Copies of this chain bind each other. A is one copy, B any other.
Amino acid sequence: MPAKAKAKQSATTVQQADGATLNGLVAVGEGRRRVVIERVTPEIDGGRYPIKRVSGDSVVVECDAFADGHDEIACAVRYRGPGESEWRDAPMQFLVNDRWRGAFTVDAIGRYSYTVIAWMDRFATWEHQLHKRVEAGQDVQVDLLIGAALVHEAAAAAPEAEAAVLRRYEQALRNGDAEAAFAPDLAARMAAHLPRRFVSVYERELQVEVNRPLARFSAWYELFPRSAASEPGRHGTFRDVIARLPYVAELGFDILYLPPIHPIGRQFRKGKNNSVSAQPGEPGSPWAIGAAEGGHKSIHPELGSLDDFRALVAAARDYGIAVALDIAFQCSPDHPYVKEHPEWFRARPDGTIQYAENPPKKYQDIYPFDFESSDWQGLWRELKSIFEYWIAQGVTVFRVDNPHTKSFLFWEWCIAELKREHPELILLSEAFTRPKVMYRLAKLGFTQSYTYFTWRTSKGELIQYLQELTQSEVREFFGPNFWPNTPDILTPQFYPGQRAVFLTRAALAATLTASWGMYGPLYELMHHVPVQGREEYIDSEKYEIHYWNLDHPQSLRHYIARLNRIRRENPALQRNDGLRFHRVDSNYLENEQLIAYSKVTPDLDNIVLVVVNLDPVNLQSGYVQVPTAEWGLEGDFQAHDLISDARYLWNGDFNYIELNPQTTPVHIFRIRRRERDQSGFEFFA
């Protein structure tokens, strides 16, 4: 192509491009926004899910922010609480390498929004450059006029009292007084009043789900009401559970969780030790929900009436205890839904309904819901209404059975809908499954989750798992709840029945994370015999009614009570951040049987150091590393063991500890600084 023809063709191209340009420019909006905001944290999956906090928490937000050229910038966290239409700003400080940090506090329960804004800091830029010019002895007359114009602009936007002060500065600058530019108060006044131009707003609006404090700091106690009778041989009732409340309160628990309380199916009922068919009179599993007497909104008649249940909820509340119900979305073949809504279940070609299976295993006493039902909308509404029914009875805490076998979309919708009306709801996810599935459920809205704690027994396993839970992104949305046992899980470390194992596993659960729970009274009574070859209790309460002697002299009830009291008295144990593991050396090598970790409040007012002997047989001793400088400890300090009430005088970074599994294999030290009162008296605070 000759050059001229080519040039002509290109000119056309330019014209076309110009046409497109206009569109492009409209899409850009205000093109003078010069600050870039990137990598805002915390942010889960590109802002798709909220982070979680409890009321009173601080939300620390960071971002990368920078502009073209060398001018100064300013950044702020922009946030608003539930129902607020106006944004509030919290200033951010420069850290290093274009990173900025700011924070705001969440008080109200519900959804907060936050993002980051940034703009060119015109006054700081000018002042900064003026400073260099003055130092170099340059003529700054024109520069002072530029500054005066900025101050004038700020004065015009300020309330009158401020404006008067600013006008005096303006005049000083106009008069050639360079020193006025550096007056200590001027920068703050200018930051407050100089209009921000061309403000950049981070592209995503992020969310914080703020829960009540119980969502993070809670101690759960699970019991079977039908085994709560005051004498052997009788079916326990809600009234019996009311009588059990002082005991639960004495143990220090604040959530009392009951397995399903609904009518129990009769078809294919399971017998003692999960035998395929029950003998006459056997009570069946409470998780086989639904019978002629009703389904998920009914109460098993032998437990009592709805009024009895309401009385239990009210009585528990007087003890500061919340009653938690079990939501298990599955039906026995006798459940009224099976007849009323056959479309909610999967039909087989022979006309039967598909029961639960994990081939070749069959669970003929359970029909799962079909989340691919043509009436999925009706199913979703009904399932949500089950929660609403029990919320109306005063229940705000639920343990959800196997949520990972129900549709994720359902949970996301259901929890969002429920929490919009009831932001106080707490939902514990019982999904013992693969990690990504557990984390997804947490992102979708479950407040707390069971964990792998039960299977993490060695020092290395515990440290690695806790680091994942408390130091990776997971901490922003996953609320771990550590249970040493459940009706479904009795892990091998308990089989020998060693008291030390019961003591240490409870202490680990109660102090590693802010929420823990145990299944009693089997735990405090140290039950430890499994079904042969399975990690489950023999003669499980799931299939039969028991009577428990709570006053057994071997009971750990006082130890458990002490653990829970220590948790209540030490704010550091009520949060999951601030956890840190410490080296314990024996003969200059890491002792793999002694695990040591601390939890501290951000103000270092409460420092708790836990040391646990994981060896249930041998006395272990070693030197635990204490970061005295970081904790502000000088000279002697006190390690006050809150379990034994013994007080040790420690000094320096390495201190001797020794734990005997035959007595108490756990130290929970409150670290106390030496202080001096007004009269010169020294004490440990």
Contacts and interface: CB of A to CB of B under 8 A. Distances in A.
A458 interface: no
Interface of A: 3, 6-7, 10-11, 13-14, 16-18, 20-21, 24-25, 28, 31-34, 36, 38-39, 45-48, 64, 66-70, 97-98, 120, 129, 132-133, 135-136, 138, 142, 145-146, 149, 197-198, 203-204, 307, 310, 348-350, 352, 357-360, 371-373, 376-377, 380-381, 384-385, 388-389, 391-394, 404-410, 413, 416-418, 420-421, 434-437, 440
B28 A436 contact: no
B372 A198 contact: yes
Interface majority SS on A: helix, strand, loop or mixed? helix
A385 B204 contact: no
Nearest to A135: B360
Given A146-B349, A392-B11, A436-B64, A28 B138 contact: no
B408 A36 contact: yes
Given A34-B372, A436-B97, A381 B18 contact: yes
Nearest to A379: B31
Number of copies: 2
Contact of A380 (B31, B33, B380): B31
Contact of A310 (B3, B67, B417): B3
Given A348-B142, A348-B146, A385-B14, A410 B31 contact: yes
Contact of A197 (B204, B372, B437): B372
A197 to B, nearest CB: 7
Contacts of A389: 14
Given A68-B408, A360-B138, A349 B149 contact: yes
A31, A97, A136, A373: residue with the most chain B Cβ atoms closer than 10 Å:
A31
A417 B21 contact: yes
Contacts of A98: 434, 436-437
B360 A132 contact: yes
B69 A417 contact: no
Given A358-B70, A388-B14, A409 B28 contact: yes
A404 B98 CA distance: 14
Contacts of A25: 377, 380-381, 413
Contacts of A407: 31-32, 34, 68
Given A17-B384, A31-B377, A34-B371, 15 more contacts: A6-B394, A10-B391, A13-B391, A14-B385, A16-B421, A17-B388, A18-B381, A20-B421, A31-B407, A31-B409, A38-B45, A64-B436, A97-B434, A142-B348, A146-B348
26 contacts: A7-B392, A13-B391, A14-B385, A17-B417, A17-B418, A21-B384, A31-B377, A31-B413, A32-B373, A32-B407, A34-B407, A39-B45, A46-B204, A66-B434, A68-B404, A69-B405, A97-B434, A97-B436, A98-B436, A120-B372, A132-B359, A133-B359, A135-B360, A142-B350, A145-B349, A197-B372
A137 to B, nearest CB: 9
Contacts of A142: 348-350, 352
A418 to B, nearest CB: 8
A7 to B, nearest CB: 6
A23 to B, nearest CB: 9
Nearest to A431: B68
A350 B129 CA distance: 18
A142 B28 CA distance: 61
Contact of A420 (B20, B32, B145, B394): B20
A25 B384 CA distance: 12
B372 A421 contact: no
A136 B440 contact: no
Contacts of A39: 45
Nearest to A27: B413
A32, A359, A380, A406: residue with the most chain B Cβ atoms closer than 10 Å:
A359
